[in-house]
Amino acid sequence: MEEKALVLCSGGVDSTTLLAMAVSRYGAKNVYALSISYGQRHNKEIESAKAVAAHYGVEQRFLDLGAIFADSDCSLLSHSSQDIPEESYADQLAESDGKPVSTYVPFRNGLFLSAAASMALSLGCGAIYYGAHHDDWAGNAYPDCSREFVDAMNRAIVEGTGGELHLCAPFVEMSKADIVARGIELGVPYELTWSCYEGGDYPCGACGTCIDRNRAFEANGMRDPLLDRLDAEWAAANAEGEE
Amino acid sequence: MEEKALVLCSGGVDSTTLLAMAVSRYGAKNVYALSISYGQRHNKEIESAKAVAAHYGVEQRFLDLGAIFADSDCSLLSHSSQDIPEESYADQLAESDGKPVSTYVPFRNGLFLSAAASMALSLGCGAIYYGAHHDDWAGNAYPDCSREFVDAMNRAIVEGTGGELHLCAPFVEMSKADIVARGIELGVPYELTWSCYEGGDYPCGACGTCIDRNRAFEANGMRDPLLDRLDAEWAAANAEGEE
């Protein structure tokens, strides 16, 4: 029997690069993309995840786990009273006394990995792919992106499934710039991805994830292909208006 | 600030005993009971969990995670094509070549603990209580009840929440008979609990969990108080009919 894998796909840069890697290893027909709503402020991530899964021709599953966060006041959630900070993770962390940043969704990644494990096992997959990386950990801005967390979750998944399933997190020691470099080699369609925490037509450029994303493309000597695409679409729409 | 805890409550013997312990330690107003539907064949567990939470006067939350198991053919699920085996866990395991038994729901307990972690953190709790015990592990019938699994999940929860939350699983090395002995001391209302995998008016007496439950009360020199209650109700209903 051919091996199968399930990839947690948020529609962002990291998990899209991961999907490209899984497809190149297992083949598109043996890969499932799982995309999870959790009550975030906008639907752009899920729309991007759909476009990416369609690009690679992989079967996609969706879950809505928003009910679990009904009592959370995390600033990323649509019912939150808090604004999303316009600072890098490092700057936010310096002000937070070592506690997770306000965009940390309580144990979200542990929940996503567990839901992924239940689904992966049901679908006959032997591996879950997870795109946690070193910049997101950022000295504990997101403790559920640390090497220690990933190792413990892998242990829990291996033990709790009687050895049927394990976790692959190849980016856990990598920077986002390294991930983009790998993705460029694989021809990842970054113009289809979305990262910004705000749900505007154009990325805000000011939230933690926009800052992180822009730096990663800059480090690779290029402009974000998403901005190129949006600019081109805007120019085309404008040109039509002038006709 | 007073410490708070969240208890995973299925309405069965183990988690009801655990709830009694948490209430005696933290006080009823600092304890949350979390009860999760996952597409099981009947609603008796959730009804029992409600009765137990009401008995102790604790705030209760409900989640429905059934969508996650849509692709699973576990015999415990209402959409499964398999029958529930009428054997003890040990006998089933002897026939399964060391694989989890057919009533193992894929990584269910990992998922429940992760959902509990997300909710507990949102509610300001510092601990999650989980009733896994040695008889359920039963040489790997349910790998997500093993000491190794519990230790790894605790590690994942501590790491993934930046040390804000941890897992308490005081029964992990205990038998169900030991748990019942502890519960009797605490005056646990076992007549309100439900364990049977089938959803009849009366426990079937033949499924793995019925066998396990009956042995635990026998070992404590008593009959299951649930059977006494159901017999008394039946006798009362019958007496009314004769009037």
* DSSP of chain B: ----EEEE--SSHHHHHHHHHHHHHH-GGGEEEEEEE-SBS-SHHHHHHHHHHHHHT-EEEEEE-GGGGTT---TTBTT-SSPPP-S-HHHHHHHTTTSPPTT--TTHHHHHHHHHHHHHHHTT-SEEE----HHHHTTTTSGGGSHHHHHHHHHHHHHHTTTS-EEE-TTTT--HHHHHHHHHHHT--GGG----SS--SS--S-SHHHHHHHHHHHHTTS--HHHHHHHHHHHHHHHHHH-
Q: Does A71 touch chain B (CB under 8 A)?
A: yes
Rounded to a whole number of angstroms, the distance from the CA of B222 to the nearest CA of chain A is 34
B:162-181 residues touching chain A, CB 8 A cutoff: 162, 165
Q: Does A123 touch chain B (CB under 8 A)?
A: yes
Tell me which chain A residue has its CA closest to the CA of residue B162.
A143
- For testing contact with chain A, the best of B72, B89, B118, B157 (most A CBs within 10 A): B118
End-to-end CA distance of chain B: 58
- Cβ–Cβ gap B161/A113 under 8 Å: no
pLDDT in tens, B106-123: 999 999 999 999 999 999
Token duo for residue A96: 């937070």
Q: What is the DSSP letter of A41?
A: S
**Overall domain count for chain B:** 1
Residues of A in contact with B105 (CB under 8 A): 118
Task: Using CB atoms, pick whichever of B72, B73, B157 lies closest to residue A110.
Answer: B157
Burial class (CB in 10 A: 0-12, 13-18, 19+), A83: exposed
Number of Cβ pairs < 8 A linking chain A and chain B:
151
How, if at all, do strands B127-129 and A59-64 pair? Answer: unpaired
- pLDDT computed for residue B198 by the predictor: 83
- Band (A1; pLDDT cuts 50, 70, 90): low
Task: Using CB atoms, pick whichever of A63, A140, A157 lies closest to residue B162.
Answer: A140
Q: Does A102 touch chain B (CB under 8 A)?
A: no
- Cβ–Cβ gap A111/B107 under 8 Å: no
Q: Classify the complex by whether its ipTM is higher than 0.90, answering yes or no.
A: no
Q: Which residues of B101-127 are buried (b: 16+ CB within 10 A; e: fewer)?
A: bbbbbbbbbbbbbbbbbbbbbbbebbb
3 state SS of A142: coil
Rounded to a whole number of angstroms, the distance from the CA of A226 to the nearest CA of chain B is 31
- pLDDT computed for residue A208 by the predictor: 83
Q: What is the rounded distance in angstroms from the CA atom of residue A179 to the CA atom of residue A168?
A: 15
Q: What is the DSSP letter of A8?
A: E
Bridge partners for A7 per DSSP:
A33, A129
Q: What is the rounded distance in angstroms from the CA atom of residue A76 to the CA atom of residue A79?
A: 9
Rounded to a whole number of angstroms, the distance from the CA of B162 to the nearest CA of chain A is 5
Residues of A in contact with B122 (CB under 8 A): 69-73, 106
Q: Does B146 touch chain A (CB under 8 A)?
A: yes
- Cβ–Cβ gap A117/B111 under 8 Å: yes
Rounded to a whole number of angstroms, the distance from the CA of A128 to the nearest CA of chain B is 13
pTM over 0.95: no
- pLDDT computed for residue B200 by the predictor: 85
- pLDDT computed for residue B223 by the predictor: 95
Rounded to a whole number of angstroms, the distance from the CA of A93 to the nearest CA of chain B is 13
Q: Does A111 touch chain B (CB under 8 A)?
A: yes
Query: What's B145's domain CATH number?
Result: 3.40.50.620
Q: What range does the domain containing B210 cover? A: 5-242
Question: Given strand B5-8, what is the order of strands in its sheet?
Answer: B59-64, B31-37, B5-8, B127-129, B166-168
In this prediction, the residues of chain B whose per-residue pLDDT falls under 50 are none
Give the number of residues written for chain B: 243
- pLDDT computed for residue A47 by the predictor: 93
- Band (A143; pLDDT cuts 50, 70, 90): confident
- Cβ–Cβ gap A107/B118 under 8 Å: yes
Mean predicted lDDT score pLDDT of chain A: 90
What are the Cα distances from residue A23, in Å, to A28, A29, A122, B54?
Answer: 5, 8, 20, 51
- Cβ–Cβ gap A156/B110 under 8 Å: yes
The more confidently predicted of residues A10 and A97 is A10
Would you say A49 and A35 are in contact if contact means Cβ atoms under 8 Å apart? yes
Q: Does B156 touch chain A (CB under 8 A)?
A: yes
Q: Does A217 touch chain B (CB under 8 A)?
A: no
- pLDDT computed for residue A98 by the predictor: 67
A243 pLDDT above the threshold of 70: no
- pLDDT computed for residue B94 by the predictor: 73
A235 pLDDT above the threshold of 80: yes
Bridge partners for A34 per DSSP:
A8, A61
